[in-house]
Homo-oligomer: A and B are copies of this chain.
């Protein structure tokens, strides 16, 4: 298991920044997140690598979404279509029809971007301006955090092929 120093992103600094932005002490955050303060200190300084559960608790305490925290820790990547579609699919606040609509719009956007990437590099904002006003303020902080995160290349590997019965298997 890699040490915290091997994390693709400096999750400790991220957590400390969030904490200081929220103007709470290390102990307060530790208490709220349900972890020990010495341990949180070590995490922030990169001496320890927190598990996903701890990250989840910290995300909750810092009012950051769990995926955002995982993203920063390298436990998730943007995952393109899969991420958005999956999120839409599990959203309990959308009707089935709305899910279909959003999925369709999303696919349309992606198709447009793919087409224009193969054509001229230009503004793809014409169709995107189908809708209207600004983004609610509450999303700005989230966006800033997201923009700050480098997209880590990853994703699902090709499916494992069914084992060939005549193929000798390496002994582990």
Contact = CB atoms under 8 A, between A and B. Distances in A.
Stoichiometry, copies per complex: 2
A67 interface: yes
A9 interface: no
A91 B138 CA distance: 19
Interface string A123-156: 0110011111111100100110011010100111
Interface in A55-107: 56, 59-68, 70-71, 75-95, 97-98, 100-107
Given A113-B94, A160-B61, A87 B84 contact: yes
Closest 4 CB pairs of A and B: A78-B90, A23-B162, A52-B52, A87-B87
Given A62-B160, A63-B156, A97-B128, A90 B146 contact: yes
